[in-house]
C-alpha cells in the first residue's frame, strides 16, 4: 500500500499511536455494492456520509453519500434518491468538489416518473438540470439512461430538480429515481467530448431514446401513446475503439417498433414485418429524425450518403449503376465519418392537421432503440 505522504506500509511497525495515516480519497465499492468515497470514519461521518465497509487496507471506510430533497452535495459518487413520499418539487444542489471540475455525469440507475403529454412535451412531471451546459427536460421511463453536462470553474453550483404532479395518474403510482452523480476533472481521460449529452465507450452497445418503453403492451390505456419526447436536439457520442474505423447502426433485434420516429406507427408491433416503404431519409426528414453523418449501406458510397433518418423503419438509399434514383432498402446504416455520434432531433409536437406550424400527424411513435457495432479497420 502506498500512502500519500510517501511512507509505505512495511514501515508501519515504526508508526506511533500518533502517526497520521493519509490515503487518497478515491472511489470505492461499499459492502452493498454501491459507489462510495474512501475517508476516515471520522471524516465520513463529519461529511454526512454512512460508513459501509472498509478501504485503503482498512485505514479508511467506504463512505456512502445519499441525498433526497432540499440538500446539497460536493461528494463524488453521491446518490440522489426519491423520497419515500412523492413531493411536488425535489432539488439537489451539486457543488463542485474542487475548482478543477469540468463535467458531471448522471447515471440514472432508476428513473420512473409520468411520461409526456400527447404532444411529446414533459409537461406534468419532469427532471430538470440547471447550472451547467444545456440538458433537455426529460420524463417517463429512463432506467439505465445517463446524462452528461459541462460546468465551468467560474460557474456556480448546478442543480437537479424533479418536478412531480400529484394529480397525474400513472400505471403505477411510484415515482422512483436513484441517480449516481460523478464529477470529472478537466484533465480526466474519460471526459466526454464537449456537446455530447450521452457518451458510450464500448465497441458495441445500445442507444435508445428517452422514455423508450419495453412494456407498451402492458399499458392498456396507452393505445394512442406518445413515447419519444418533443423539442430535442442532442448528440449521443460513441468513443472510437482502438482498431475500429466505422460504426454500424441497426434496429434492436426482435423489436420491430424499435425505429418509429414519424408517421402512423399504431399498426406496427414488435413482430410486424418491416416494410421498406416506411424507410425515410435525407430531405424527407424534417421534423423528428436521427442523424448519422455520412451514413449509407456500406459507409463508402458518397452518392448514396444520407445524414438524416426517420419514418417507421431504419434503412438506407441504394442506387444502381444505371440509375441515380434511391431505392429504400431495409437494414443497418454504416458510417466512417468521425467522431461517431448519433444526433437526435424532434420538433415541438406530434402533429395534428398539417399546417405551416404543425408537422404531419404522427401516431404511436416510440422513438428508437438502436444497436451500434463498431467495425474493424480491416473490413
Ligand atoms: Ca414523431
Ligand atoms: Ca414530432
pLDDT tens for each residue of 209-231: 999 987 665 444 445 577 899 99
CB 246 within 8 A of CB 335: yes
Whether the pLDDT of residue 43 is over 80: the answer is yes
pLDDT tens for each residue of 320-368: 888 888 999 999 999 999 999 999 999 999 987 776 677 788 998 999 9
**CA–CA separation, 379 vs 295, rounded Å?**
16
- % helix, strand, coil for the chain, step of 5: 10, 40, 50
Question: What is the arithmetic mean of pLDDT over 56-85?
Answer: 95
The CA 260 to ligand 1 mean position distance, Å, reads: 7
Ligand nearest to the CA of 121: 2
pLDDT of res. 168 = 59
Ligand nearest to the CA of 310: 1
Give the residue with greater pLDDT, 354 vs 319.
319
Question: What is the arithmetic mean of pLDDT over 258-275?
Answer: 92
Cross-strand bridge partners of residue 101: 185
The CA 367 to ligand 1 mean position distance, Å, reads: 7
Q: SS3 of 304, please?
A: helix
- How many CA atoms are closer than 13 Å to the CA of 187, on its beta-carbon side? 3
Which segment, 140-149, 222-231, 267-276, is predicted with the most confidence on average? 140-149
Whether the pLDDT of residue 103 is over 80: the answer is yes
Whether the pLDDT of residue 75 is over 80: the answer is yes
> Does 65-191 match 192-379 in CATH topology?
yes
Residue in this structure with the C-alpha cell 465551468, named with its chain if needed: 152
pLDDT band with cut points at 50, 70 and 90 for residue 170: low
Question: What is the arithmetic mean of pLDDT over 149-171?
Answer: 83
Whether the pLDDT of residue 1 is over 70: the answer is no
pLDDT of res. 322 = 85
pLDDT tens for each residue of 4-32: 444 444 444 555 555 667 888 899 999 99
The pairs formed by 22-27 with CB atoms below 8 angstroms and a separation of 24 or more are: 23/56, 23/59, 23/60, 24/56, 27/76, 27/77
Question: What is the arithmetic mean of pLDDT over 64-75?
Answer: 96
Q: How many H helices and E strands in the chain?
A: 1, 26
Question: What is the arithmetic mean of pLDDT over 140-153?
Answer: 94
CB 327 within 8 A of CB 296: no
Whether the pLDDT of residue 2 is over 50: the answer is no
All residues with CB under 5 Å from ion ligand 2: 288, 347, 350
Q: Which fold has domain 65-191?
A: Jelly Rolls (2.60.120)
The CA 342 to ligand 2 mean position distance, Å, reads: 18
**CA–CA separation, 331 vs 27, rounded Å?**
42
The CA 283 to ligand 2 mean position distance, Å, reads: 16
H or E element, residue 323: strand 323-330
Give the residue with greater pLDDT, 300 vs 292.
292
**CA–CA separation, 179 vs 147, rounded Å?**
10
**CA–CA separation, 125 vs 243, rounded Å?**
44
CB 229 within 8 A of CB 211: yes
pLDDT of res. 9 = 47
pLDDT band with cut points at 50, 70 and 90 for residue 300: confident
Residue 217 DSSP symbol: G
**CA–CA separation, 69 vs 318, rounded Å?**
54
**CA–CA separation, 183 vs 105, rounded Å?**
7
**CB neighbours (10 Å) of residue 139?**
25
pLDDT of res. 3 = 43
Domains of the chain, residue spans: 9-62, 65-191, 192-379
Give the residue with greater pLDDT, 236 vs 18.
236
Cross-strand bridge partners of residue 31: none
The CA 251 to ligand 2 mean position distance, Å, reads: 20
pLDDT of res. 351 = 82
**CA–CA separation, 317 vs 343, rounded Å?**
19
**CA–CA separation, 31 vs 54, rounded Å?**
8
The CA 198 to ligand 2 mean position distance, Å, reads: 21
Give the residue with greater pLDDT, 179 vs 25.
179
Give the residue with greater pLDDT, 227 vs 208.
208
**CB neighbours (10 Å) of residue 124?**
19
Question: What is the arithmetic mean of pLDDT over 174-191?
Answer: 94
Q: Is 192-379 a CATH 2.40.10.10 domain?
A: no
Q: Which three cell numbers stand for residue 364?
A: 404511436
Whether the pLDDT of residue 244 is over 70: the answer is yes
Taking alpha carbons only, the member of 273, 276, 270, 267 closest to residue 257 is: 270
**CA–CA separation, 98 vs 344, rounded Å?**
33
Amino acid at each position: 500500500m502506498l500512502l500519500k505522504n510517501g511512507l509505505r506500509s512495511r514501515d508501519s511497525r515504526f508508526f506511533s499511536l500518533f502517526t497520521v495515516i493519509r490515503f487518497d480519497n478515491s472511489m470505492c465499492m461499499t459492502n452493498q455494492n454501491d459507489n462510495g468515497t474512501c475517508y476516515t470514519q471520522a471524516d465520513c461521518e463529519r461529511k454526512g456520509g454512512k460508513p459501509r465497509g472498509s478501504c485503503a487496507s482498512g485505514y479508511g471506510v467506504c463512505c456512502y453519500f445519499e441525498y433526497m430533497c432540499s440538500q446539497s452535495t460536493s461528494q463524488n459518487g453521491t446518490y440522489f434518491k426519491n423520497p419515500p413520499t412523492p413531493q411536488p418539487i425535489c432539488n439537489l444542489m451539486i457543488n463542485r468538489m474542487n475548482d478543477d471540475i469540468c463535467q458531471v455525469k448522471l447515471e440514472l440507475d432508476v428513473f420512473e416518473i409520468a411520461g409526456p403529454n400527447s404532444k411529446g412535451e414533459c409537461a406534468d412531471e419532469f427532471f430538470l438540470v440547471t447550472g451547467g451546459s444545456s440538458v433537455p427536460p426529460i420524463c417517463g421511463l429512463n432506467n439505465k439512461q445517463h446524462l452528461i453536462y459541462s460546468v465551468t470553474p467560474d460557474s456556480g453550483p448546478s442543480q437537479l430538480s424533479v418536478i412531480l404532479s400529484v394529480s397525474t395518474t400513472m400505471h403505477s403510482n411510484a415515482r422512483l429515481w436513484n441517480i449516481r452523480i460523478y464529477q470529472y476533472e478537466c484533465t480526466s481521460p474519460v471526459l466526454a467530448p464537449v456537446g455530447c449529452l450521452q457518451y458510450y465507450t464500448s465497441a458495441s452497445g445500445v442507444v435508445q431514446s428517452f422514455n423508450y418503453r419495453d412494456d407498451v403492451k402492458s399499458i392498456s390505456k396507452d393505445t394512442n401513446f406518445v413515447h419519444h419526447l418533443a423539442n430535442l436536439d442532442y448528440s449521443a457520442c460513441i468513443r472510437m475503439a482502438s482498431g475500429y474505423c466505422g460504426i454500424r447502426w441497426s434496429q434492436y433485434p426482435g423489436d420491430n417498433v424499435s425505429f418509429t420516429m414519424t408517421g402512423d406507427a399504431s399498426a406496427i408491433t414488435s413482430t410486424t414485418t418491416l416494410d421498406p416503404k416506411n424507410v425515410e431519409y435525407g430531405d424527407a426528414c424534417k421534423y423528428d429524425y436521427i442523424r448519422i453523418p455520412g451514413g449509407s449501406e456500406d459507409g463508402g458510397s458518397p452518392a448514396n450518403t444520407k445524414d438524416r433518418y426517420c419514418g417507421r423503419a431504419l434503412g438506407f438509399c441504394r442506387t444502381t449503376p444505371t440509375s441515380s434514383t434511391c431505392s429504400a432498402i431495409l437494414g443497418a446504416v454504416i458510417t466512417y465519418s468521425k467522431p461517431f455520434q448519433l444526433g437526435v432531433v424532434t420538433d415541438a409536437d406530434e402533429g395534428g392537421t398539417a399546417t405551416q406550424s404543425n408537422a404531419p400527424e404522427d401516431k404511436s411513435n416510440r422513438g428508437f432503440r438502436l444497436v451500434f457495432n463498431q467495425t474493424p479497420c480491416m473490413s
